[in-house]
Structure 1
Amino acid sequence: MLGISAFYHDSAAAILVDGQIVGAAQEERFSRIKHDAGFPVHAISYCLEAAGLTLSEIDRIVFYDKPILKFERLLETYVSYAPSGIRSFIAAMPVWLKDKLYLKQAIREDLAELGDMKNKDLPPLLFAEHHQSHAASAFYPSPFERAAVLCLDGVGEWATTSVWVGNGRELTPLWEIDFPHSLGLLYSAFTYYTGFKVNSGEYKLMGLAPYGEPTYVDAILDNLIDLKDDGTFRLDMSYFNYATGLTMTNKRFDALFGGPPRRPESPISQQEMDIAASIQQVTEEVVLRLAKTVHEETGETALCLAGGVALNCVANGRLLREGPFDDIWVQPAAGDAGGALGAALLGWHVYEQKERIAVPGDAMRGSYLGPEFDDEAIRTALDAADARYQRLDDPELMSRLAGLMGEEKVVGWFQGRMEFGPRALGGRSIIGDPRSAKMQSVMNLKIKYRESFRPFAPSVLRERVSDYFDMDADSPYMLIVADVRKDLLVELDEEQQKLSGIDKLNLKRSQLPAITHVDNSARIQTVHEGTNPRYHALLKAFEAQTGCGVLVNTSFNVRGEPIVCTPADAYRCFMRTEMDVLVVGNFLLLKEDQTPWEKDEAWKEEFALD
């Protein structure tokens, strides 16, 4: 069963064999184009290779949404808002009339070319609904026999919020909120207004929020969103331009917040920080109210989440702590990429009517579902790059790395299968010592080349998570935020406590300053020996040498670049940045041993800033 998502953003493919998830990957990792929306030819090819199958051996191919319903929504929206939006309508129609209305034919042609087959010989091509794909990706791989399911995103065909109940292989829709009333698009409107890029900058807004005060909450609730006690809502569309326009917000929105949107890459002011704090608080309130209602209506004790809003790990942390559900599970590829997996699972459980057995932990295999490379492939790639390396067996390698990180060296860590979803989870990561006071700024400014305010996440041994954080639960996908334990915090003096905004950035707040955000929280990844034994072994080696069972973990890329996929990608990123050490499989590379690359800053133009 092959699932595909494409043509909006984050194209991806996923494949099942006998109902088991065998492979899944985003097209961006192969094409090296961030959020690549094109037909995922490379991702499909990888999935077929991972399954050991040809396209002709696939039973069904399932696409993650229904383009005709999207076109219906587009037309109805323009008609209802006419005559406003005529420029946007004129811009959109040729694309739809030329390409998107004929997507089924286009997809079949692309598949036929990929499989070197005649169109008529292709497997059956089916189309799921967008939120149905999200719901399937959330429930079917979860560890629960039955659960409530909440999907929150920008918009699918019509739905922006949907509620489901999963039980065995059954996935039953209960109700939805439709476009243009969208929590995801509300958050994206503020992403746009604060100068970040829609569909990729939302996590920056979340990271910026703790620097501000929620002074605009009342303005948002009084003007922009009519929020009911049960969490349902309507937006006042007179403030927004996204329904038919070419921007997210309009001049009335500007007037409410005292000026035009911040220019991208310009200095961030206290106002942007306060706006970020405000919309984050409103978003959390909506999610909590919706969850309470879903719990009351379904009586379920577990909740599954998907859709782009489910990547808001601060809201997820509050859901876990404040209930009302006993347990929650978030699909690690919660955005549109995960729709490919949901589509494949729908093909198996709904179209094929195959039974589902819940897997303890979950069925995602740690989300390590992408390509991996053996010693021979790694050595070939490193030799082709004229790299200088040593090959070390695991015990020596782990001990050596632990010592290097104890010396505040920054390590590129490339191991096993690539992660599926937006987070690096110890397969394609940049790692370092969380006790280092300089690590956060070094990683941001000299390695990632990104904004200084952005926080880094801790990877922590699952068996020691409660020694460092106010939680004792699994968070293998870095989708839960919790506070650093109070006994690890550093008491701030009176002058330090008076600081506001970005001035808070460089204060040492805990014994683990590199992963402690300005509100004393951290976005936690618990590392499990069963799903990532090598990363777990490295953490154990670091703990043995330092007493610390935590590492800093960020994705192996620079700003605007997709996470690295191949050993060649890893070496290139290593040499272009100020990373000190690279480990690819069992091969150890020190920057000081490499032939220096000519200083050519032009490569930074290769990737569009996210």
Structure 2
Amino acid sequence: MAAAQEERFTRQKHDSAYPAHAIDYVTGWRGGSLANVDYVAFYDKPFLKFERLLETYLAFAPRGFRSFRTAMPVWIKEKLFQKDLLRKKLAAQAPGIDWSDRLLFAEHHMSHAASAFYPSPFDEAVVLTLDGVGEWATTSVAIGQGADLQILKEIHFPHSLGLLYSAFTYYLGFKVNSGEYKVMGLAPYGSPKYKDLILENLLDLRDDGSFHLDQRYFNYCTGLEMTNGAFETLLGQPRRRPETDSLEPFHMDVAASVQAATEEAMLCLARALKREYGLPNLCLAGGVALNCVANGKLLRDGAFERIWVQPAAGDAGGAVGAAFSAHHQHLQQPRPARVSGSADGATGAADGMQRAHLGPAFEQGEIERRLQAAEARYEVLDEADLLAATARGLASGKAVGWFQGRMEFGPRALGARSILADPRAAEMQKILNLKVKFRESFRPFAPSVLRQHLPAWFQMDVDSPYMLLVGHVALERAREMSAAEAGLFGIDKLNVVRSEVPAVTHVDYTARLHTVDRHSQPRYRRLLELFHEATGCPMLVNTSFNIRSEPIVCTPEDAFRCFMGTDLDILVIGDCYLDKTAQDPSLARDYSGEFELD
């Protein structure tokens, strides 16, 4: 019915505080309240996690005392007594209820597995979860059948594909738990020169998909850093210093290498699971499942006929999984049937995530009141005029902030809180990165493409409603590089036009695809149709409506502030159309130095 992250309300990225605002929203959806809630489910078991921390510190003692001294006060004061903390917080929001009897705790990887299987369109599936670490598990394999879900295998800490990728994120000078996207985006600029070095020294990968990390090279068990001197010696260079050291071809090759090693591990796992269980469907969750490049290769590999990935595959989706686990496992409720079929190229059954449009929406009157309070200048247009004006602006090269309907749940903007642009413009990727998002120029953008036109433009013909699959540009849409262009290195590759839609074509001729079909937002789909009618191009650049290190916008005020602090040309909120040139210049903001690197 409803889902949202606390960060969207507080505007603090990765806000880990008690989610009072999100609880108010989801329980108040359609007139409800927290007092109407039968159960509250939490996505992991704190005592088991504390046990893992203690056993790890003891195993590595006396190393790690500095980390131990930092972690223990937080655990003893708050995390260890999570149930009591939650009971008190819930009682403050809804007094007079004994919340102790209504609190349920699911293990971390069961939460991930439940979030992947229960809302999936499959009656039966193998469920694979991969992340940094939960309580003990870093990887789990489950089988889902109807309302039954059983975890059969696990790989335990400290052996973790998620932590391996995060270690390289740290080594490359990016922020752990948010900069992993950068490593994935940087990888195509390099070549996987160090893949064998990783597989021979760091990651021992077995034929059955299991793996082992050599802890001599890592420091995450006991230290405050992810890697150590042995790691740097192995790779031959010290860790890149964030924001001060430039990105060199070496760093791009390292990114390509860890990406290739991760893909090989995921492919090995998937093939082994298909051999063992023989099922045609695979569900994925956990932070590693947000690696859409690896997901695309899993799909093309064909070990599994169909793949479904939870759109909020990281820990935010753990809340959804905990709720599903409570509903189907604790309360033993049946799963609903899924509706099959589509008239526009979509295949298979609909899933249970409502295209991830599960967040707050705003009525037109409220939008106007909020914009007036922000001193915004706007026109109110009927839908036909609104969409026509927006399509004209996009076709003329303008960047558009698009705010419609319910906010998305998960890390991807899917046509509700999006920045849109013309994918045919060769300079658009650089313009959006530097002048709107205030982030590194190398980071790629995704296309939103009308589902029925997908096979004509990309080498893929399956639904990708959550932007979690990467596919190659169709050969007939691609442009072959000259010998001089092919010989370029690193960031110099960025400005080479590779296809008819260069703004969404990455340097390896791929794109992170978001398909828009009849289940998607009707107004967004109609905008794509109008743009297609005007230009012959059935897609738009679609990136999240925010700047670096800021959460995706939630309210009309958030959107207007972002609009006035960036080089966006047009803002469309509900039926309101805002032109940047009509705004009061004194309301402009300098966002560029406000947020740290993500």
TM-score grouping bracket, smaller chain normalisation: over 0.9
- For the pair 1:566 / 2:544, whether they are aligned, the reply is no
Question: Residue 343 of structure 2 aligns with which residue?
Answer: none
Question: Residue 544 of structure 1 aligns with which residue?
Answer: 533
How far, CA to CA, are the matches of 2:337 and 2:184 in structure 1? Answer: 32
Q: Of 50, 70, 85, which residue of structure 1 is paired with 2:29? A: 50
- For the pair 1:394 / 2:372, whether they are aligned, the reply is no
Contact 2:442 2:494 in 1 (8 A): yes
Contact 2:561 2:589 in 1 (8 A): no
Contact 2:6 2:15 in 1 (8 A): yes
How far, CA to CA, are the matches of 2:309 and 2:46 in structure 1? Answer: 26
Question: Residue 264 of structure 1 aligns with which residue?
Answer: 242
Residues 600 and 386 of structure 1: CA distance in aligned 2, closer, same or farther (over 3 Å): closer
Give the deviation of 1:550 after TM superposition.
Answer: 0.6
Contact 1:302 1:325 in 2 (8 A): yes
Q: Of 56, 60, 71, which residue of structure 2 is paired with 1:77? A: 56
How far, CA to CA, are the matches of 2:513 and 2:431 in structure 1? Answer: 20
Q: Of 141, 157, 162, which residue of structure 2 is paired with 1:184? A: 162
Q: Of 277, 281, 285, which residue of structure 1 is paired with 2:260? A: 281
Give the deviation of 1:91 after TM superposition.
Answer: 1.2
Q: Of 36, 41, 47, which residue of structure 2 is paired with 1:62? A: 41
Give the deviation of 1:456 after TM superposition.
Answer: 0.3
- For the pair 1:137 / 2:115, whether they are aligned, the reply is yes
Q: Of 191, 201, 204, which residue of structure 2 is paired with 1:213? A: 191
The 5 A counterparts of 1:102-181 are 102-115=81-94, 117-118=95-96, 120=98, 124-181=102-159
Give the deviation of 1:608 after TM superposition.
Answer: 3.0
Q: Secondary structure at the match of 1:25?
A: coil
- For the pair 1:329 / 2:308, whether they are aligned, the reply is yes
Q: Of 421, 432, 441, which residue of structure 2 is paired with 1:432? A: 421
Q: Of 352, 368, 373, which residue of structure 1 is paired with 2:362? A: 373
Q: Of 243, 247, 256, which residue of structure 1 is paired with 2:221? A: 243
Q: Secondary structure at the match of 1:552?
A: strand
Give the deviation of 1:258 after TM superposition.
Answer: 1.5
How far, CA to CA, are the matches of 2:587 and 2:557 in structure 1? Answer: 18
RMSD: 1.1
Contact 1:145 1:357 in 2 (8 A): no
Give the deviation of 1:259 after TM superposition.
Answer: 2.3
Per-residue deviation, residues 238-295 of structure 1 (Å, max 9, x unmatched): 1000011100000000111122211111311111100000000000000001001111
How far, CA to CA, are the matches of 1:65 and 1:51 in structure 2? Answer: 28
- For the pair 1:232 / 2:210, whether they are aligned, the reply is yes
Give the deviation of 1:438 after TM superposition.
Answer: 1.4
Contact 1:58 1:123 in 2 (8 A): no
Question: Residue 6 of structure 1 aligns with which residue?
Answer: none
Give the deviation of 1:122 after TM superposition.
Answer: 6.5
How far, CA to CA, are the matches of 1:420 and 1:600 in structure 2? Answer: 27
Q: Which amino acid aligns with 2:377?
A: R
Q: Of 504, 509, 515, which residue of structure 2 is paired with 1:526? A: 515
Contact 2:28 2:34 in 1 (8 A): no
Q: Secondary structure at the match of 2:204?
A: strand
Give the deviation of 1:464 after TM superposition.
Answer: 0.7
Q: Secondary structure at the match of 1:597?
A: helix
Contact 2:194 2:254 in 1 (8 A): yes
- For the pair 1:96 / 2:75, whether they are aligned, the reply is yes
Contact 2:438 2:592 in 1 (8 A): no
Contact 1:56 1:121 in 2 (8 A): no
Q: Which amino acid aligns with 2:414?
A: L
The 5 A counterparts of 1:322-471 are 322-359=301-338, 360-471=349-460
Question: Residue 553 of structure 1 aligns with which residue?
Answer: 542
Contact 2:23 2:34 in 1 (8 A): no
Q: Which amino acid aligns with 1:346?
A: S
Question: Residue 517 of structure 1 aligns with which residue?
Answer: 506
Contact 1:135 1:306 in 2 (8 A): yes
Aligned length: 587
How far, CA to CA, are the matches of 2:83 and 2:150 in structure 1? Answer: 26
Gap regions ≥5 residues in structure 2:
339-348
How far, CA to CA, are the matches of 1:597 and 1:473 in structure 2? Answer: 47
Q: Secondary structure at the match of 2:585?
A: coil
How far, CA to CA, are the matches of 1:284 and 1:369 in structure 2? Answer: 31
Contact 1:27 1:42 in 2 (8 A): yes
Q: Answer with 447-456 or 48-57: which moved more.
A: 48-57
Q: Which amino acid aligns with 1:168?
A: G
Contact 1:112 1:122 in 2 (8 A): no
How far, CA to CA, are the matches of 1:371 and 1:502 in structure 2? Answer: 39
Give the deviation of 1:123 after TM superposition.
Answer: 5.7
Per-residue deviation, residues 536-562 of structure 1 (Å, max 9, x unmatched): 000001011111101000000001100
Per-residue deviation, residues 139-173 of structure 1 (Å, max 9, x unmatched): 00000011100000000000000000000100011
How far, CA to CA, are the matches of 2:130 and 2:99 in structure 1? Answer: 37
Q: Which amino acid aligns with 1:540?
A: E
Give the deviation of 1:586 after TM superposition.
Answer: 1.1
- For the pair 1:580 / 2:551, whether they are aligned, the reply is no
Give the deviation of 1:118 after TM superposition.
Answer: 3.5
Contact 1:288 1:319 in 2 (8 A): yes
How far, CA to CA, are the matches of 1:599 and 1:353 in structure 2? Answer: 54
How far, CA to CA, are the matches of 1:143 and 1:74 in structure 2? Answer: 37
TM-score in terms of structure 1 length: 0.95
Give the deviation of 1:531 after TM superposition.
Answer: 2.6
Per-residue deviation, residues 81-114 of structure 1 (Å, max 9, x unmatched): 1111111111111111121111110011111112
Q: Which amino acid aligns with 2:132?
A: G
Q: Secondary structure at the match of 2:334?
A: coil
Q: Secondary structure at the match of 1:24?
A: coil
- For the pair 1:607 / 2:587, whether they are aligned, the reply is no
How far, CA to CA, are the matches of 2:101 and 2:463 in structure 1? Answer: 39
Question: Residue 222 of structure 1 aligns with which residue?
Answer: 200
Contact 1:149 1:305 in 2 (8 A): yes
Contact 1:25 1:420 in 2 (8 A): yes
Q: Which amino acid aligns with 2:332?
A: Q
Q: Answer with 487-496 or 181-190: which moved more.
A: 487-496
Contact 1:514 1:552 in 2 (8 A): yes
Contact 1:440 1:455 in 2 (8 A): yes
Q: Secondary structure at the match of 2:98?
A: helix
Contact 1:575 1:597 in 2 (8 A): no
Per-residue deviation, residues 379-399 of structure 1 (Å, max 9, x unmatched): 001101111111111111111
Contact 1:581 1:589 in 2 (8 A): yes
Contact 1:212 1:275 in 2 (8 A): yes
Q: Which amino acid aligns with 2:320?
A: L
Contact 1:56 1:122 in 2 (8 A): no
How far, CA to CA, are the matches of 2:33 and 2:521 in structure 1? Answer: 29
How far, CA to CA, are the matches of 1:297 and 1:597 in structure 2? Answer: 65
Give the deviation of 1:51 after TM superposition.
Answer: 4.5
How far, CA to CA, are the matches of 1:283 and 1:35 in structure 2? Answer: 25
Per-residue deviation, residues 286-312 of structure 1 (Å, max 9, x unmatched): 000100111112111000000000000
Gap regions ≥5 residues in structure 1:
1-21
Question: Residue 492 of structure 1 aligns with which residue?
Answer: 481
Give the deviation of 1:365 after TM superposition.
Answer: 0.4
TM-score in terms of structure 2 length: 0.97
Q: Of 296, 306, 313, which residue of structure 2 is paired with 1:317? A: 296
Give the deviation of 1:598 after TM superposition.
Answer: 5.8
Contact 1:437 1:514 in 2 (8 A): yes
Per-residue deviation, residues 421-477 of structure 1 (Å, max 9, x unmatched): 000000000001000111111100000000000000000001111111000000000
